[in-house]
Amino acid sequence: MARAIVTGTRVAQWATGATGRLALRAVIDSPDLELVGVRVYDETKIGRDAGDLADRPPTGVRATDNNYQIVTSKPDIVLYMGSVERHPDTCFRDVAHLLSCGIDVIATGSSFIDVYGFDPDRASLIEAACVDGGASFLGVGLFPGFWGEAVAPVLSRLSYRCGEITVRESLSYAGYPSREMMVDVMGYGHRPDSTSPILSDPERAGKAFVSTASIIAKALGLEVLACQPFRETVVADRELHVAFGVIPAGTVAAIKLGVRADCGSTSICVEHVTWMSPDVMPEWSRAEGYEIEFGGAPTMRCNLVLGTRGEDHTEMGCLATAMHAIHAIPAVRRAGSGVFDLADLDFRGALR
C-alpha cells in the first residue's frame, strides 16, 4: 500500500563523510524534512551537534555511533551512506536491520544500486527485511546510480538502431580527501600489481558497475547475457601531492575500471575513469565529467559537467549524489514495501 507524504518526514543521516555531510546539510535546510538522528563512525564526531558537522546552526540532534539510538529516534527514512565498498557485510546487515524495523532506506553506495546484480544472497537478505518490516529500499547515487540508469534510456528514444552504449565517468580524484577510499579501496599509491586494494581485483571492481548495465538493459527491454569486468592502471613518473597525501613515483596514479555487458545485438560498456594528475592519464576520455555515447544510427554523445564555474568537480559530484538521495525521498515514501531500482520509481514531486 502506498503511503501518504506529509511535510515533516523524519530523516536520519547514516554516515557523514564527503557525501553524507552534504546530505546532512540538505536535510537540515529542507522545510519538508525533520532531522531526528545522525550515525557517525569517527569517534571525534560522537556527541557533536548535527549542525556543527554540517556547518549549520545547532539542531539539538547529537551524533551517535549507536545503531540502536538511530532506530529509537523513529525515522521514517534513513539516508544510508556507509562505506559498503569497504565493509559490504556490515553495511548490508545494517540496512536489513533498519528495513526489518519498518524504516525505509535510500542508499548511495555502488553495491546498493542493484542488489540483485551485485549479490543474489545479499539481495535476498534485503528483500526479506522489506517484507518483515513493510519497508521500501532504493539504491541511488550518481555514477553508478543516475547518469547511465536515468539518462541513457531517455536518449535511446532518439535511436533507430544501436550496437553499443558507453557510459563513462571521468574525474580527477586529486581533491578527494579520504585516504581509505583512495588507497585501500581504489588502489592509488600502490604498485599496479598489488592485490591488497579492494578494487585491485577486476571481478570485484566490475561488480560495482554491473548494476548500471543491468538497469539500463532492464529499461531498454534487453537481457544481459554475459559481463566482462576490466581494470587498467597507469603509474606516476614522479611524486604527486594530493588531498589525501603523497603518491610515490612508480605507483598507481590513474585508473580505468568497469564492465562490458553483452546484450546480444547491443553491448553496454560502463567505465569509471579517474586520475591524480591530468598529464598521467592516457586518452581514456575526452573531458572531465560524464559521457554517454551511442554507436548506431544516429551516433550520439551526451556530456554532463558538474561544477562549471570553477568549483571542484569531485565535491560537486558528491553534492549531486547527496541531492539525488534527498530528492528520491518522496518517491520512496510513495512506494509500497519492497526493493526498488531507478527503473521502477516515479521521481515526480521532488523536495523544494
Q: pLDDT confidence of 3, banded at 50, 70, 90?
A: low
Residue 118: pLDDT above 90? no
The model's pTM: 0.85
Residue 260: pLDDT above 80? yes
Contacts (Cβ under 8 Å, ≥6 apart) of 20? 13, 14, 79, 81, 322
Residue 51 falls in which region: left (phi positive, over 0), alpha (psi -120 to 50) or beta: alpha
- Predicted local distance difference test score (pLDDT) of residue 193: 95
Neighbours of 83 (CB within 10 A): 18
Helix (H, G, I), strand (E, B) or coil at 58: coil
Of the two residues 128 and 351, the one the predictor is more confident about is 128
Q: DSSP E strands: which ranges in the chain?
A: 9-14, 33-39, 63-64, 77-80, 104-107, 136-139, 161-172, 226-235, 240-242, 245-247, 252-263, 266-275, 289-297, 300-304, 338-340
Q: pLDDT confidence of 7, banded at 50, 70, 90?
A: low
Over range 291-313, report the average pLDDT: 92
pLDDT, mean over the chain: 91
List, for residues 203-236, the tens digit of each pLDDT value: 888 877 888 898 899 889 999 999 999 999 999 9
Q: By the 8 A CB rule, do 103 and 77 touch?
A: yes
Q: By the 8 A CB rule, do 35 and 50 touch?
A: yes
DSSP H/E element including 196? none
- Predicted local distance difference test score (pLDDT) of residue 120: 87
Residue 4: pLDDT above 70? no
Paired residues of 167 in beta bridges: 270, 292
- Predicted local distance difference test score (pLDDT) of residue 119: 83
- Predicted local distance difference test score (pLDDT) of residue 348: 59
List, for residues 155-195, the tens digit of each pLDDT value: 999 999 999 999 999 989 998 888 988 999 999 999 999 99
Q: pLDDT confidence of 244, banded at 50, 70, 90?
A: very high
- Predicted local distance difference test score (pLDDT) of residue 314: 81
Over range 82-108, report the average pLDDT: 94
Contacts (Cβ under 8 Å, ≥6 apart) of 73? 10, 12, 36, 37
List, for residues 9-43, the tens digit of each pLDDT value: 999 999 999 999 999 999 999 999 999 999 999 99
Helix (H, G, I), strand (E, B) or coil at 132: helix
- Predicted local distance difference test score (pLDDT) of residue 113: 87
Residue 322: pLDDT above 70? yes
Question: Is residue 277 classed exposed, middle or buried when 0-12, 13-18 and 19+ CB atoms within 10 A define those classes?
Answer: middle
